[in-house]
């Protein structure tokens, strides 16, 4: 039993790291497909564990990280409201927009890299316009390395 635990813990640690780096995609969580089926299969084989159990563990880790990220975003926004930097209405607008962005990620799934690039540029402009309309600093929309983390830091570049 101890030997199995000593084998499982390091491998699960690696799985957690990989899940944290690559598994935060909500597309996979919503469709319940793994982004790394060969990794899951290989990990299950090496551990001598049913692949479904490994998949379940990875999904639980992914959901836990998603929950932690959402909690952090709520804390950031609550503090911004408390500090008078945004209003409760703006906070709700931000939360709604983040959910909308998350739902739109499914649209990117079957695009070519060029189509994705064009769609992301269009979405970036729409978000800038939305933020300006609602008098919201984009840093609150992207708090916690949001769905468009690739744009973070490039909003004001021309």
Max Cα-Cα span within the chain: 60
- Note the pLDDT of residue 6: 54
The pTM for the full model equals 0.61
Averaged pLDDT, groups of 10, the chain, 158 residues long: 54 53 42 65 88 90 92 93 95 93 84 90 91 92 56 40
CA distance 25 to 9: 24
pLDDT tens figures, 92-121: 999 999 999 888 888 888 889 999 899 889
Q: Three-state SS string across 40-71, please?
A: HHHHHHHHCCCHHHHHHHHHHHHHHHHHHHHH
What phi-psi label fits residue 144: left (phi over 0), alpha (psi between -120 and 50 degrees) or beta?
left
């Amino acid at each position: 039993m101890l030997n199995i635990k000593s084998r499982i813990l390091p491998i699960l640690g690696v799985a957690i790291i990989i899940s944290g780096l690559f598994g935060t995609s909500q597309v996979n969580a919503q469709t319940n497909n793994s982004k790394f089926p060969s990794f899951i299969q290989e990990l299950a084989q090496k551990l001598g564990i049913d692949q479904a159990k490994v998949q379940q563990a990875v999904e639980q880790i992914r959901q836990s990280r998603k929950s932690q990220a959402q909690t952090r975003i709520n804390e950031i926004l609550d503090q911004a409201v408390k500090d008078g930097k945004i209003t409760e209405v703006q906070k709700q607008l931000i939360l709604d927009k983040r959910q909308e962005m998350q739902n739109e990620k499914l649209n990117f799934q079957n695009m070519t890299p060029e189509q994705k690039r064009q769609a992301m540029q269009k979405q970036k402009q729409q978000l800038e316009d939305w933020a300006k309309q609602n008098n919201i600093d984009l840093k609150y929309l992207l708090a916690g390395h949001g769905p468009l983390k690739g744009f973070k830091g490039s909003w004001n570049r021309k």
